[in-house]
Structure 1
Amino acid sequence: MTDTTTLVVAGAGLAGVRACEAARRKGFEGAIVLIGEEPALPYDRPPLSKQMLTAPPGSVEVQLRPRSVLEDELNIQVRTGVRAIGLDTGSRVLQTSEGEVEYDELIIATGAAARKLPEAREFSGVLALRTIEDARRLRGHLVEDTRVVVVGAGFIGSEIASAASKLGLRVTIVEAASAPLVRSLGAEVGALCTALHRAHGTDLRLGTTITAVRARLGAEPDGLGRYPVAAVELSDGSLVEADVIVAGIGAVPATEWLQTAGVRLHEHDGGILCDANLAALGHNGRPIPHVWAAGDVVHWPNPLFERTMRLEHWTSAAEQGAAAAANALVQPADRRPYSTVPYFWSDWYDTRIQFVGVPQAEEVVVQHLLDERGGMVALYRAGERLVGALTIGRPDLIMKYRRLVASAASFAEGVDLHAGAVA
């Protein structure tokens, strides 16, 4: 253990909370300050799109830990409603909306913000889903006879569409690509996801984009000067009626406040470039002393796949928070590189989709399971190695595949596992 007396964690999401918990678990007795921009106590994000949109308001518990656990049991100073606005790494000072906070070790876990639809800034009823307030706002719009247009058929967009469909609403998804998830998981999986949407009656418009938004005729603007939505015009010339438009077009790392801090940011998305130990890098390419990062903001070299990654998944956020804290609080010789087999899941129309590994492959083999449980499996091959696996409707298999990928198992072993599942 180092002589650290104050650990500051900027970002009160899953990665931030796991960092604090890991520090205490490892015996750190100094001060821990957890700073979060949102007024709410730290909460879990997956239920926002998986349960909150269909459940009665207030019926889904999303809080990660009660205040009594955070403050009394773990002795964490929790500061909600406080925004990180700057960083002086030389003086070890985090600048916030409520003043300066000194640190001995700092973990940046400020997450990501949802991308907006620039075509729809002048309209009300145009929403995104990232925060608990976003989820409450969207749930309030999903009432009887509402016509919902979701932009983007990725995981968040598809979960929103699934929830609206479950409520009996008319749902249209507008997706610029040729199929859902085709860019991230390949054409084979995209075809499976297309079939899943259409089997549940969702109007899936592929290879199209929104070119214009139409306002409701004769409607008055709201207090912000925005007009209610009536329809969207698409690039194929069609018109889709809409009362609500929801953007599911990804998220951007929340790192604007680090622009002048000397932290090296990714040239495309602004994420924090880190070394394998999750130490933040400076512009000189070397680790910045006493500054670490975890969660959605991080680009780091994953030793298991020998490539740099940025993951926006629950599992990696939890793991990275704990790993960053562990490395921050020990001597340099005791630090350990963070490696993982990426894992994520998504629920569409009561069907669970799960993926482990990486999708960069020379071949993707889709295999339908033939036993009475149904389901599908897609296996990803690079050379002779199994590098990824996707299951639809077979949650009992996915962790077995994750262990195979972690052990650099052969593709043949992955095929054998599938064969055993249908034997």
Structure 2
Amino acid sequence: MVDADQTFVIVGGGLAGAKAAETLRAEGFTGRVILICDERDHPYERPPLSKGYLLGKEERDSVFVHEPTWYAHHDVELHLGQTVDAIDRTAKTVRFGEDGTVVRYDKLLLATGAEPRRLDIPGTDLAGVHHLRRLAHAERLKGVLAALGRDNGHLVIAGAGWIGLEVAAAAREYGAEVTVVEPSPTPLHGVLGPELGQLFAELHTEHGVRFRFGTRLTEIVGQDGMVLAARTDDGEEQPAHDVLAAIGAAPRTALAEAAGLELADRAHGGGVVVDERLRTSDPDIHAAGDVAAFPHALFGTRLRVEHWANALNGGPAAARAMLGKEVVYDRVPYFFSDQYDLGMEYSGWAPPGSYDEVVIRGDAGKREFIAFWVKDHRVLAGMNVNVWDVTDPIQALIRGQAQVSTEALADPHVPLDSLVP
């Protein structure tokens, strides 16, 4: 049993931090738990920000990880709207807040997450330029999309990744005109490759979204502080009343870097280097969620995963490791998306160049199928589109690493379970 006079500090009030605090109490930790969050809202989950909440289908209160009273009831000292500006690893202290409060820790968890990458072009200071990462962003964007829909306004989105596409779908449901500017040849090119990226291009085109592939924004043009248009590097000008920058997220590593913790290189997505127990280069400091770059034996590389499931599972894993329990964090990456009438789930890791072929089971034309990314007859990743309750066998195929027949993979009459070693 952990001594009652120990103090565990969690920096970051997102899903990973909140679930870590929950796990510490669930595992019987009786010391102080201090959770420091630089947002004024209680810890919340991010997927609804570009899905149900943005569409007005989910209430604001539905996004929170716990009821507001949960923290006091479980003796979690929650500090909202407070920023940690220094870690002293020798003294084992963190300093936070405007008054420079200093607290000592026995174990420290960094769950600082990621922040939206910024467009480095003229015009980003205009009032109609948006990002989507925080609840406040979603609240603002929700009103913007509704207004654009009422007024037949135009939204230009820089980036055809998950956030860009989900916002494009929401904007079209509100009735706004949408143009997506993307330097790659298809949406989601870095995740799904060209084979499946084209499917999402067709989906959005059918719903009235205009794509400008192979281009990027060079300037946002405005007047009187408001957006008028967006210019691209091919010399064209897209009409715009608002612009969303959806060009990815960068791990928030400044605090860790200032403390002298080891960071991953850009080839591995940046982030704070951790081992399989989510320990940083300082054994008394752990990291979890978007900011952590962890070794994954299954894929033979270090991964930094920016998805909901990684925060949901990584926070508790780090908490157990902080308590001295045996932990090996090797979850198969998983994420999901909803766009119009298409729902999908993706498990695994198969960036372009890592696989030999994509095997389709089902009817891609009807958007009811499973796709498998295969190398040497081994499944690296799988995506089910409008086909449900197959995540477990897909992940079992990935974990099993056994060679499977591509003909059997493609045959919907062959149960997936029968292919699992």
Matches within 5 A, 1:201-240: 201-216=208-223, 220=224, 227-240=225-238
SS in 2 for 1:66: coil
CA distance in 2, matches of 1:205, 1:371: 24
Q: Is the 8 A contact 1:208 1:235 kept in 2?
A: yes
Q: Is the 8 A contact 1:362 1:381 kept in 2?
A: yes
Q: CA deviation at 1:192?
A: 1.4
The AA in structure 1 aligned to 2:21 is: C
Q: CA deviation at 1:124?
A: 1.5
The AA in structure 2 aligned to 1:172 is: T
TM-score (structure 1 length as normaliser): 0.90
SS in 1 for 2:372: strand
Structure 2 equivalent of residue 285 of structure 1: none
Deviates more, 1:154-163 or 1:374-383: 374-383
For residues 23-76 of structure 1, the C-alpha deviation after alignment (integer angstroms, 9 at most, x for no partner) is: 11111111111110000111111000001222179556211101211221x221
Q: CA deviation at 1:153?
A: 0.4
Instruction: Check 1:146–1:110 CA distance in 2 against 1; reply closer, same or farther (3 A cut).
Output: same
SS in 2 for 1:198: helix
Which runs of no fewer than 5 residues in structure 1 stay unpaired? 221-226, 282-287
SS in 2 for 1:317: helix
Q: Is the 8 A contact 1:188 1:366 kept in 2?
A: no
CA distance in 1, matches of 2:185, 2:24: 45
SS in 2 for 1:319: helix
Deviates more, 1:34-43 or 1:357-366: 357-366
Q: CA deviation at 1:99?
A: 1.4
The AA in structure 1 aligned to 2:337 is: S
Structure 2 residue 245 is the aligned partner of structure 1 residue 247: yes
Structure 2 equivalent of residue 36 of structure 1: 37
CA distance in 2, matches of 1:197, 1:258: 40
CA distance in 1, matches of 2:187, 2:322: 39
Structure 2 equivalent of residue 224 of structure 1: none
Structure 2 residue 284 is the aligned partner of structure 1 residue 290: yes
Structure 1 equivalent of residue 375 of structure 2: 382
Structure 1 equivalent of residue 305 of structure 2: 311
1:408 paired residue among 393, 401, 413 = 401
Deviates more, 1:33-42 or 1:354-363: 354-363
Q: CA deviation at 1:121?
A: 2.4
CA distance in 2, matches of 1:415, 1:88: 56
Deviates more, 1:158-167 or 1:345-354: 345-354
Matches within 5 A, 1:7-406: 7-55=8-56, 61-72=62-73, 74-97=74-97, 98-119=100-121, 120-142=123-145, 143=147, 144=150, 145-216=152-223, 220=224, 227-268=225-266, 270-281=270-281, 288-330=282-324, 334-360=325-351, 361-367=354-360, 369-370=362-363, 375-406=368-399
SS in 1 for 2:78: strand
Which runs of no fewer than 5 residues in structure 2 stay unpaired? 417-421
The AA in structure 1 aligned to 2:134 is: T
Q: Is the 8 A contact 1:277 1:336 kept in 2?
A: yes
Q: CA deviation at 1:414?
A: 8.9
CA distance in 2, matches of 1:313, 1:244: 26
CA distance in 2, matches of 1:115, 1:252: 6
Q: Is the 8 A contact 2:359 2:374 kept in 1?
A: no
The AA in structure 2 aligned to 1:28 is: F
CA distance in 1, matches of 2:406, 2:58: 46
CA distance in 2, matches of 1:393, 1:211: 37
Deviates more, 1:109-118 or 1:262-271: 262-271
TM-score (structure 2 length as normaliser): 0.90
Instruction: Check 1:311–1:90 CA distance in 2 against 1; reply closer, same or farther (3 A cut).
Output: same
SS in 1 for 2:405: helix
Instruction: Check 1:374–1:215 CA distance in 2 against 1; reply closer, same or farther (3 A cut).
Output: closer
Q: Is the 8 A contact 1:354 1:391 kept in 2?
A: yes
CA distance in 2, matches of 1:404, 1:323: 23
Q: CA deviation at 1:413?
A: 7.7
CA distance in 2, matches of 1:408, 1:113: 34
Identical-pair percentage: 33
Q: Is the 8 A contact 2:357 2:375 kept in 1?
A: no
Instruction: Check 1:414–1:301 CA distance in 2 against 1; reply closer, same or farther (3 A cut).
Output: farther
For residues 275-301 of structure 1, the C-alpha deviation after alignment (integer angstroms, 9 at most, x for no partner) is: 1110012xxxxxx13100000000010
SS in 1 for 2:413: helix
CA distance in 2, matches of 1:167, 1:123: 23
CA distance in 2, matches of 1:86, 1:244: 37
The AA in structure 2 aligned to 1:161 is: A
Q: Is the 8 A contact 2:86 2:96 kept in 1?
A: yes
For residues 335-394 of structure 1, the C-alpha deviation after alignment (integer angstroms, 9 at most, x for no partner) is: 222111110111111311221111143323242514998513221112231111112222
CA distance in 2, matches of 1:14, 1:414: 40
Q: Is the 8 A contact 1:110 1:297 kept in 2?
A: yes
Deviates more, 1:101-110 or 1:62-71: 62-71
CA distance in 1, matches of 2:185, 2:114: 26
Instruction: Check 1:210–1:396 CA distance in 2 against 1; reply closer, same or farther (3 A cut).
Output: same
Count of residue pairs the alignment pairs up: 404
